[in-house]
Structure 1
């Protein structure tokens, strides 16, 4: 077995500006979270307007904003995920409200909000819940920690209002499943087919080189993401699994000049189009015997991995133990930002806490990009707020409409770039404060701008000072272990399959954690993909 050229402690610090601000194409399903978020929020806001209790907007929004989550998950998995998101949101909000009721100390409130920010980040990353991640959870909890007048007796009522909003969010998220039960799986497989087609086109046009390697990596990433979605859908998606295996075959072969499993890029794109239009699932044509045998082995191995993996999930405490570094880093950066904001006399130090938590990413380069995007987006956002706040103050209906419009546009803009989304996130957050009462615009703008700068600086500093230096080492160890298990005779029975399945899971998790860590060398993505594929084949043999 050849040596793996890892260099775990080779710093590669880059601080890009142009790349951080470059706009991407509009996301393919941006309208789904946009419509869900706006619908859930509109239901609770209109209900509160009719009841004359818009002062409860923060608590109702805690549940309603959960409708933004889970749009890439199959509906059965989405239902479970939304339930956990609502529970997590309300648990954090409850802790924050109890803190606000028990103490008027700004320093203590900042500390609790910062700790919640760290826990939110760790749990969202560990569970891979997806966009919008920890930011919405932290924003609501941090806001609740600074409710000016909160009594212990009011906490159950306020959390109950959040539960009602959460029920609305759950229903809004699940209703589309009544009309297109396999929609998320179709979208995921279509993305994989499109990525494999682009990889084939680039390799045909340009041969090797950086563009081809980048396209192959994008295809491997899309295929892996699609497997995560399809396997969560259970046993009813055989047609989609066959298409996905063919996409994987194409992605694995075209980079090496081999036939792509009997299909070309145009065929892959046509299949993707059929899936997106909710037409019958295409059937891949027959191809050479070697490819057919390999794909059957792949399907059998993946099915075995899914069956063997049906075990009780690790407890939240176990997840937090694994992610202690993330909790410590985010909490430290958020607390530093909040306390400095407090020392400077800013009226809303929790905005600094939220910004610091939002800035944290896997490495310094990504954190720098996120900090730059956040600062620029918020600068433009507060300018936009000054333009729309006079209209929003015409009355309660005008304020509700302004919030809903900003929320909808945010979901479209943020798929193009985080800074563009921040242009609309900032006025949305500032408008939400208007439900509790009007304040001078100049004070709101100054607080938002200063807290943004403080939070961005503190979050970036925490990421620089606390890098994960062992990320590449864990990938190296996991890759070597998997390759060794594939080559060794594991014997029959469950023990051998368990060892191989555990190695597959550990390598995948280690690679996800190490991707982008600034203090590590570039990961051998193609070798990792090849090892996983070989592991699936070996698992099929053991199962047979």
Structure 2
């Protein structure tokens, strides 16, 4: 949380000191990259943040390049409102749709989790509004790049002092979660949180190249892992749960990027379901807002996208829609409070830094609370602190949020309504296929690689079963015996070929 705020504040304050107070807050767009490094070992964090930073700089340039003719066309028509230039506004809507579809496919395929495609799309949306304030595409790129450089430096700032801090934090969180689960063993929520914390900690130690070494962190995590595995053994035998993926063996590292994206490219998989819904909902929400002559159809697009991009689960998607709307309402209230203050440029940067920190703190934990910070953050950076007609902004933002939420929920429940069945069957078929390949392979190196793939496939199968159970518990129960048997066979296969992990 502190890193996110500092990464946004440093280049912006430097810009103010150098006399560029009007555009310095644009650096926040590149500073978003710091969020993608949280929880990662320093050994890989620099690479993750660098890739995210490069993507954000590129997308800021795309947003500004598309936004410039949009606003020029609107100004030539005698009105500065974005919605009055239908052709160029449509180009912006379609650009945002393509960006979120591609980003969502990559994020879901790689199983990167939150914040997913949200910050890239938010970058495009904010950057597209800056040309209306006289900010050139070159300036947007330069200031976004400065924020990206700040994100990399801030995210790696602890390496020289305490280079094992991410691993220690991950292991401590997992041990605490297991302790909480053991003290309240009847709670499915505490068991689920413990399993997720254990998997996250093991991946952090894999990234740090500590797994397989006699290290205090590895020993502590393994002891917590065994305690949790003993607790969940035999539970949840009649329905899908995250605890299905916790066995005494230490989890393997993620398979290669090529394998994960190859699996995502399967037309029957979940990633294409997400993309298909985005390709319907985003243009529909934007064009509907445009037809109603509301000022910012891009807000409707980003609202619809943020409800749909995190997965095909209709129940969780509906909750995200409610979080989006009520979080936006509270965020506009916070914006109203900020609008009453006569903030200097430096004070405005500090406010942006605090909003950035709040966004990072809650984006993964609670989307509704995160929206309280994201809403004023997007509006303040998108206006660069210039005067806003609060009544018009509130009206447009609420209306377009409502349009985006409504369109997303309609698409969520009507487009590919039985996709959860196809996704679960595909996931189970892939598990069976990988088990068969392991049985037919004699090369130990190839078997080890296939075991990595199999564990990933088992996780995907569990996720698909949970989504199916949320959506259609009666149908899922009919498939459960077959699914559960296949799942057990997969983990027996892993245990047979890998043996004791430690």
TM-score by length of 2: 0.79
Inter-partner Cα distance in structure 1 for 2:360 and 2:371: 10
Q: Name the residue aligned to 2:78.
A: none
What is the CA-CA distance between 1:80 and the residue it aligns to? 1.0
Match of 1:367 in 2: 317
Is the 2:44–2:208 contact (alpha carbons within 8 Å) kept by the matching residues of 1? yes
Distance 1:73 1:466, change over 3 A: farther
C-alpha spacing 1:93/1:344, structure 2 compared with 1 (3 Å): same
Unaligned runs of 5+ in 2: 74-87, 236-246
- What does residue 387 of structure 1 align with? 337
- Match of residue 285 from structure 1: none
**Whole-Å Cα distance in 1 between the matches of residues 350 and 409 of structure 2?**
35
Q: Does 1:45 align with 2:12?
A: yes
Alpha-carbon distance in structure 1 between the residues aligned to 2:408 and 2:397: 16
Higher mean alpha-carbon deviation, 399-408 vs 524-533, is at 524-533
Distance 1:413 1:241, change over 3 A: closer
Distance 1:357 1:515 in 2: 22
SS in 2 for 1:245: helix
- Give the Å deviation of 1:213: 5.0
| In structure 2, distance between residues paired with 1:58 and 1:356 | 26
- State yes or no: 1:93 paired with 2:68: no
2:200 equivalent in structure 1:
225
Per-residue CA shift, 1:180-231, capped at 9, x if unaligned? Answer: 222222222233323333343334xxxxxxx355544443333222222221
Specify the alignment match of 2:218 in structure 1.
241
Distance in 2 separating the partners of 1:502 and 1:433: 43
Whether contact under 8 Å (2:110, 2:260) holds in the other structure is: no
Distance in structure 2 (CA, Å) of the matches to 1:46 and 1:372: 36
User: Is 1:331 paired with 2:331?
Assistant: no
CA offset at residue 35 of structure 1?
0.8
Provide closer, same or farther for how the CA distance between residues 79 and 394 of structure 1 changes in structure 2, counting only shifts above 3 A: closer
Residue pair 2:331, 2:372 contacting (<8 A) in 1 also = yes
CA distance in 2, matches of 1:504, 1:257: 20
1:310 deviates by 7.6
Which stretch shows the higher mean deviation, 59-68 or 235-244? 235-244
Select which of 80, 92, 106 maps to 1:109: 92
Task: Choose from 242, 247, 250 the match for 2:227.
Answer: 250
Contact 2:115 2:364 in 1 (8 A): no
* Residues 123-160 of structure 1 deviation map (CA, whole Å, 9 limit, x = unaligned): 22333444332222211102223444599x95345323
**Could you tell me how far 1:359 is from its partner in structure 2?**
1.4
Moved more, 371-380 or 354-363: 354-363
| Map of 1:456 onto structure 2 | 405
Q: 1:505 to 1:158 in 2, by over 3 A?
A: same
Distance 1:231 1:216, change over 3 A: same
Point out the more displaced range, 376-385 or 465-474: 465-474
Is structure 2 residue 116 aligned with structure 1 residue 133?
yes
The answer to whether 1:198 aligns with 2:198 is: no
Relative to structure 1, is the Cα distance of residues 78 and 389 closer, same or farther in structure 2, using a 3 angstrom cutoff?
same
Cα displacement (A) at 1:389: 0.6
* Structure 1 residues 131 and 503, CA gap change in structure 2 (3 angstroms): closer
1:107 offset after TM fit, Å?
1.3
- Kindly report the root-mean-square deviation, in angstroms, between the aligned alpha carbons of the 2 structures: 3.5
Tell me if 1:444 matches 2:387.
no
2:428 equivalent to 1:476: yes
Deviations 1:50-73 (A, max 9, x none): 233234346422211212222111
CA apart distance, 1:83: 1.0
- Following the alignment from structure 2 to structure 1, what is the Cα–Cα distance between the partners of residues 401 and 277? 18
Name which of 509, 522, 527 aligns with 2:460: 509
Whether contact under 8 Å (1:119, 1:320) holds in the other structure is no
- 2:145 matched residue in structure 1: 163
* Counterpart for residue 45 of structure 2: 78
Shift of 1:339: 1.5
Assess if the C-alpha contact under 8 Å between 1:54 and 1:435 holds in 2.
no
Q: C-alpha displacement at 1:175, in angstroms?
A: 0.8
Q: 1:443 to 1:387 in 2, by over 3 A?
A: same
Tell me if 1:66 matches 2:33. yes
Cα distance change, pair 339–408 in 1 and its aligned pair in 2 (3 A):
same
**Structure 1 residue 433: Cα displacement:** 3.3
Q: Measure the CA separation in 1 of the matches of 2:442 and 2:365.
A: 50
1:56 aligns with 2:4: no
Q: Which residue of 2 aligns with 1:6?
A: none
CA distance in 2, matches of 1:131, 1:159: 25
Q: Whole-Å Cα distance in 2 between the matches of residues 527 and 81 of structure 1?
A: 37
What is residue 177 of structure 1 aligned with on the other side?
A: 159
Kindly provide the CA deviation profile for residues 321-355 of structure 1, in whole angstroms up to 9, marking residues without a partner as x: 76333223223222222222222222222122221
Deviating more after overlay: 162-171 vs 43-52: 43-52
Deviation, 1:533, is: 4.8
Question: Which one of 353, 358, 372 corresponds to residue 404 of structure 1?
Answer: 353
Do the aligned residues in 2 keep the contact of 1:356 with 1:456 (CA within 8 Å)? yes
Change (3 A) 1:342 1:54: farther
